[in-house]
Amino acid sequence: MTLALMMVAVAPSAWAQKIGVVDMRQVMSQLPQAEAMMQNLETEFAERVAAVRKLQEELKALAEKQQKDALLMTDAQKTELSRQMESLNADFNRKGRNLQEDMQKRQQEEQQKLLKQVQLAINGLAEKEQFDVILQRGAAVYVSDAADVTSKVVEVVGKGN
């Protein structure tokens, strides 16, 4: 009987765990490194973006010329202009698609690097403040302000900048 009483007395303290919650979207949106990453990517792809925009402007100019000068153009000129537009449109679509794919790939690579920093910060925070578990915000139905460690994670990762 004493063993059962001891288990009842010990059990609640054995169940007590320190649980934290982190909102990863909020962390990623508040990190100064995320903004710097986006600026670096914009710089990295600026020339290619400008080239695609130039193709778009050329295509628009040819379309306006076709519409404006259609009555004055011979059939041969119309055909040549149409071929130029088709070629330019194909080039625009190919370069635009390649640019978008490359930008997405680089953004994912950079986000993975940042996520590693965030994970290290969460692990360090968990050890330092003796959390048993830290969950992502979406996994919890209710979270008290005391359990939300999002701002602490942002602070730790931000200091690493």
> CATH number of the domain that 97 lies in?
3.30.910.20
Residue 135, domain member (yes or no) = yes
- Look up the pTM and report it: 0.71
Report the C-alpha gap between 83 and 92 in whole angstroms. Answer: 14
Nearest residue to 27 via CA among 140, 117, 130: 117
Residue 8, domain member (yes or no) = no
The total number of structural domains in the chain stands at: 1
Whole-number pLDDT of residue 149: 93
161 with 47: CB under 8 angstroms? Answer: no
Count the neighbouring beta carbons within 10 Å of the beta carbon of residue 54: 11
Report the C-alpha gap between 85 and 88 in whole angstroms. Answer: 5
Whole-number pLDDT of residue 143: 86
Q: DSSP secondary-structure letter at 139? A: G
Residue 36, domain member (yes or no) = yes
List of the chain residues with pLDDT < 70: 1-16, 161
Whole-number pLDDT of residue 14: 53
Residue 33, domain member (yes or no) = yes
Q: What Rg do the C-alpha atoms of the chain give, in angstroms?
A: 29
Report the C-alpha gap between 36 and 72 in whole angstroms. Answer: 52
Show the domain range for 132: 17-159
Residue pLDDT, tens place only, 65-83: 999 988 888 999 999 999 9
Whole-number pLDDT of residue 9: 47
Residue 71, domain member (yes or no) = yes
